[in-house]
Amino acid sequence: MKFRRSERLIDMTNYLLEHPRQLVSLSYFSERYGSAKSSISEDLAIIKETFEERGIGILQTLPGAAGGVKYHAKVNEEEAKAFIEELCQLIMKPDRLLPGGYLYMTDILGDTALVQRVGKIFASAFAETNIDVVMTVATKGIPLAYAVASFLNVPVVMVRRDSKVTEGSTVSINYVSGSSKRIQTMVLSKRSLEQGSNVLIVDDFMKAGGTVNGMISLLDEFNANVAGIGVLVEAEEAEERLVDDYLSLVKLSGVDVKEKKISVEVGNYFDKNR
């Protein structure tokens, strides 16, 4: 079947967006559309220019016989800043306050469009990092982890608080919660993570960093490497931060239960991406 150029452009764009960070050869597209490689190259040049102009991402070209193109999700600074500021306004709403000074975040983590935007921003920050898998701890971090992983085209690994029979053999560690200073346990299936993997840790909220630090300790049991750490919201008032090198979108600077006021600001995302 012979494709018209407009059809090729649409289908090629869709294929690249659905297969981020996957090297696609010119031969594959040439055979897929029954077109000469020179025509495919011209089409890819149009897509590359459009992606960059519209802030959709970057189309990396790799020369040589084994080369091709690879799509990376990227968000420019202006777009990222506008979204994070929008996120701050959303989190600042007084009706988020729960007894004990906790924040209601379920609506945010359940908003698929919003979570996808968060995923793309994190994927953009780690676009040039060698990542094999995204890790999070059940349960609230799961939507974020899947969103990030979809843009990085890698699997998700979920750490649990207790062992499940469906997980098979597991590795468990004890860690100290950064906020309560209590000993807690986290568990990971032996089958879920290969030795030596490069892991991006993603979580929805970080206070002192005890949970994230626990995941780092768990990775040591698999001889795995921490490729990066991304958190949606970090608490500024943590007495002793157990994790130093991380990326945050929003910083919770204060909660006044009596006045029903939540103070937030932009996290360290832009400081780390300069």
Q: What value does the mean pLDDT take over residues 20-26?
A: 95
pLDDT band at 208 (very low <50, low <70, confident <90, very high): confident
Is residue 90 located within the same domain as residue 53? Answer: no
- Residue 1: which pLDDT band, with cuts at 50, 70 and 90? low
84/53 same-domain check: no
pLDDT at 127: 93
Domain match, 266 and 149 both: yes
Which of 72, 98, 118 delimits the end of a domain?
A: 72
Indicate the pLDDT class of residue 241, thresholds 50, 70 and 90. confident
Q: What is the pLDDT of residue 64?
A: 78
Residue 238 has pLDDT above 80, yes or no: no
Q: Which domain holds residue 227?
A: 77-272
The percent of residues above 70 in pLDDT, for the chain, comes to 96
Mark whether 46 and 175 lie in a shared domain.
no
pLDDT tens-place string over residues 136-149:
998 889 999 999 99
pLDDT at 165: 78
The confidence band for 236, taking pLDDT boundaries of 50, 70 and 90, is confident
**Statement to judge: residues 66 and 200 lie in one domain:** no
**Comparing 140 with 117, which gets the higher pLDDT?**
117
Q: Does 66 share its domain with 110?
A: no
CATH of the domain at 33: 1.10.10.10
Same domain, 103 and 64: no
Are 226 and 105 members of one domain? Answer: yes
State residue 164's pLDDT score: 80
Instruction: Provide DSSP, the chain.
Output: -PPPHHHHHHHHHHHHHHSTT--B-HHHHHHHHT--HHHHHHHHHHHHHHHHHHTSEEEEEE-STT-EEEEEE---HHHHHHHHHHHHHHHT-GGGB-TTS-B--HHHHT-HHHHHHHHHHHHHHTTTS--SEEEEETTTTHHHHHHHHHHHT--EEEEBSS--GGG-SEEEEEEE-TTT--EEEEEEETTSS-TT-EEEEEEEEESSSHHHHHHHHHHHTTT-EEEEEEEEEEETT-SS-S--S-EEEEEEEEEETTTTEEEEEE-SHHHHT-
Tell me what the mean pLDDT of segment 199-227 comes to: 94
| 199, pLDDT greater than 90 | yes
Share of the chain above pLDDT 90, in %: 76
Q: Is the pLDDT of residue 272 over 80?
A: no
Are 112 and 54 contained in the same domain? no
Least confident of 58-62, 82-86, 160-164: 160-164
Final residue belonging to a domain, choices 19, 50, 72: 72
Residue 242 confidence (pLDDT): 83
Confidence of residue 250 (pLDDT cuts 50, 70, 90): very high
> Is the pLDDT confidence value at 179 over 70?
no
Regarding whether 261 and 240 lie in a shared domain, the answer is: yes
Q: For 114-139, what is the mean pLDDT?
A: 96
pLDDT-based confidence at 260, cuts 50/70/90?
Answer: confident
Same domain, 227 and 136: yes
Q: What is the reported pLDDT for 101?
A: 78
Is residue 107 domain-shared with residue 233, that is, in the same domain?
yes
Q: pLDDT value at position 102?
A: 83
Averaged confidence pLDDT in the chain: 92
- At which of 50, 72, 94 does a domain end? 72
Number of domains in the chain: 2
